Each structure stands twice: as C-alpha cells, then as structure tokens.
A and B are shown apart, each in its own frame.
Chain A
Amino acid sequence: MWKFLLPFAAFVALVVLFVFGLNPSRDIHALPSPLIGKPAPQFALTDVNDPAGVVSNSTLKGQVYVLNVWGTWCAECRVEHEALLAISQQHVVPIIGIDWSIDHGLGERDKAKQWLERLGNPYAQVAFDKEGRTIIDWGVFGAPETFLVDRDGKVIYKFISPMTQEVWEKEFLPRIAAAGKGV
C-alpha cells in the first residue's frame, strides 16, 4: 500500500508545484510592492518644465492621485503615452509624472520637455528626479511603473508595465471609486 501511495503523493505534489510554478500567465518579474498600504514616500523635486519650480506630493493631501514613473530613455514609456493622454482627458484624478533621469541629469530634462511638447502632456505636474533618489524611495526598479495613492496619502496599488486603457478600466477605476472619488 505504502509503496504505491507514496510515489503517487509525490507525483501529485510535483504536478501542483508545476501548475503554479510554470504557469505562463504568471509574470515572474512582477514583484509585490512592500509599499502597498503604507504612506506614500514624500518628495519635493524640481519641475521638468521649470527648474525653479517645485513639484511635491505634500500638496496632494486629501486627494486621490496617480503617480507615473517614466523616462525618455524608456521605450515602453513611449508605448503607454497615448493611453496616458487618453486617460488624462477623462479628468478622473490627476496624473503626477516623475521623470527618472538615469544619467543623473545630463540632457534628460531637455529631452523630457521635448517629449511632452511633441507628444502631448498627460501630467498635471511632472517632477524631475535628477539623481534617481525619489524612485528608490518608491521602490521602482524599471519604467514605466504606475502607482495609485488614496486620500489619506496611502499607496493602494502599483502597476508595472505600460499602462493601457484596459488596465485603467479594470484595475484603476474600481479602486479609485472605492477610494471615494466618483467616476
């Protein structure tokens, strides 16, 4: 009895392991963010369009907002740009951009300005992360990454990959509605 049951149990255990482990729809690079449910990291950076201006999320208290990390060096950010523009035109919540300068400022600001002029600006405000410190505080490891912050200033969702209309409707809008901002 043991002789048959034990290998069979081992076989079943392996099948279960493989079904979960090798599931092609599971993105092995998607990591859960430890920031979910925690207060959004504070930042005060210069404005991409105005080196003398300040963009800070401390002015957004009591407001639901989307935070999108991008860079002109990031091909996938170009892919999501049209979707971001369309979403911004729905005026549901403000989209705050963080332009991640991987080269620590050498030219990224000008490129970002040109990008927004040429392709349109979906952002209510765009902060310039010259030294890549703010994105570390947000646990960002690639671009684009998009966060949703609620009225209490808590991070409630993070999406890694280019934003699409579908993701916006399926993942963001219900959470925004639940966070008390009517659609």
Chain B
Amino acid sequence: MSRVSFAGLLTFALAVPGFGGAFAEPPAAAALDAHGQLANPELQARFERIAKELRCLVCQNESIADSNADLARDLRRQVREMLIAGQSDDAIFKFMTDRYGEFVRFAPPLTPKTALIWGAPFVMLLLGGTIIYRVARQRSRMPLDE
C-alpha cells in the first residue's frame, strides 16, 4: 500500500518540476500519499486529533490543523514526522509544551496551576444551584398575593 503510493508520489514529483521542492515534506515523503496525508490511516487519524488540540500561536484562536500560517505548517510537519518515527501522543505534546509552554494546548492537563480553569465551571454550577434553591424555597414559603 505505502509502496504503491510512494511510487505514485515519486512519479508525480519527477513529472511536475518544482513539486518535490515546494510541496513535499522530504523526510516524511515516503509515508505520505499524493494529498500530503499520512498513508497509514491510523496515523492520519492521530495526526488530525493532535493537530486540532495544538494552538497556532500566530493566530491564537485557531488550531494548527486550521491555520494557514507558515509556522502552523511547520508544526504540522513536526507532528507528522514524530508520528512516522513512532512517537507517542504524549511525547508529541511534551515536545510542543517544552518549547511553547502549556498555552499551545487547547485543553491543558489538570495540574495545580490549571485546577482553577477546570474547576471553575463546577464551582459556578454549585453556586448558582444553591442560590436558585434558596430563592425558590423562600418564595414557596411566602404567602400568595391573592
């Protein structure tokens, strides 16, 4: 399967001048199909999940999967290469956070520093629920106007 697509890619690269230099991402070329996706569907699925989870720091509200920025393109290349090299998801996330900090992850892991972010919705829910409960109970005790 990968042999066939590699041959196809090679033919394409030879037939279209400039293709090899401009679009192929060289070390990964053998494991990529003609659309630049990972030939192994399992790796491609992991790639898509990881790329969606990493923030493009140039355009901070986009993931590197969605962004057209040059840096996002290079970070996607990095993720693909690490997947092809057999690295785990955790290793890839660690590579990114070691360089760019926890901020590159849209969903940072639960640590004492991020406890507030993860905990706040539940605290709010509890607080709101308590207020509604108390108000409702108080009102049910009040005499009706008419």
A: residues with CB less than 8 A from B are 29, 31-35, 102-103, 106, 131-133, 136-139, 141-142
Cβ–Cβ contact A31 & B58, under 8 A: no
A136 touches B98 (CB 8 A): no
| Contact of A34 with B97 at beta-carbon distance under 8 Å, contacts A132-B71, A136-B74, A136-B78 already known | yes
Q: Are A139 and B22 closer than 8 Å at their CB atoms? A: no
Question: Is chain B's binding surface mostly helix, strand, loop or mixed?
Answer: helix
Is B92 interfacial (CB-CB < 8 Å)? no
Given that A32-B101, A33-B101 are known contacts, is A102 also in contact with B60, CB under 8 Å in the complex? no
On chain B, the number of residues with a Cβ less than 8 Å from chain A's Cβ atoms is 16
Distance of A32 Cα from B99 Cα, bound (Å): 11
The answer for the CA separation of A33 and B99 in the assembled complex, in Å, is: 8
B70 within 8 A of A: yes
Residue numbers of B with Cβ under 8 A of A are 21-22, 57-58, 60, 70-71, 74-75, 78, 97-101, 103
List the count of A-B residue pairs having beta carbons below 8 Å apart.
41
Q: With A132-B70, A132-B74, A136-B75 as known contacts, state yes or no: A142 contacts B58, CB within 8 Å.
A: yes
Known: A106-B22, A136-B78, A141-B58. A34 touches B101 (CB 8 A): yes
Hey, which chain B residues are within 8 Å of A139, CB to CB?
99-101
Cβ 8 A contact of A141, one of B21, B22, B71: B71
Q: How far is the CA of A61 from the CA of B90 in the complex (A)?
A: 32
